[in-house]
Amino acid sequence: MSEQVDASTARTSPGLEWATERGMGALAEKMGLSWVEFSVDRCVATMPVEGNTQPVGLMHGGAYVVLGESLGSMAANLHAGPGRLAVGVDINATHTRSATSGVVTGVCTPIHLGRSVTVHEIAVSDDQGRRCSTIRITNMIKDLPNA
């Protein structure tokens, strides 16, 4: 079962400050993503259903994937640390329910945190805590070239 997250009780953490400072990128911002919690062990963000739907009013599957990739890639980059960059190399999603209103919440947890590869699972749930999508992302971590 998915966990409900109350944004009003979230505490500011160094990871959340890092993610807020770094930004989430133009696509995630356009889709209305909002950070709630951010650490190496757990990242949470929300996204409105409105504006991210298919023509029939259901949450678009690609929108779930944008939420998942945003969370998983940012979590991998926090793990990678300064001077290193995490880039997505594989992502998959299984959609099990369609949200039609409100917000969805993505909860990202690590499956594997290595030196060169990370794997994260993102559970996306609706306002009632029902899981809508499960996303798994693999990121490769590499050193940034000296500038």
> Residue 143 and residue 106: Cα distance in Å, rounded?
28
> Residue 40 and residue 74: Cα distance in Å, rounded?
9
pLDDT at 25: 84
pLDDT at 85: 95
Mind listing the pLDDT tens digit of every residue in the chain (147 residues)?
A: 344 444 444 456 787 887 778 877 899 899 999 999 999 999 999 999 999 999 999 999 999 999 999 999 999 999 999 999 999 999 999 999 999 999 999 999 999 999 999 999 999 999 999 999 999 999 999 999 874
pTM above 0.75, yes or no: yes
Q: Enter the CATH code of domain 7-143.
A: 3.10.129.10
pLDDT at 146: 79
pLDDT at 87: 95
Q: CA dist 94 to 11, 97, 116, Å?
A: 30, 9, 26
Give the catalytic positions in this structure.
69
pLDDT at 15: 77
SS (H, E, C) 95-130: ECCCCCCCEEEEEEEEEEECCCEEEEEEEEECCCCC
Q: Which candidate, 143, 140, 78, places its Cα nearest to that of 108?
A: 78
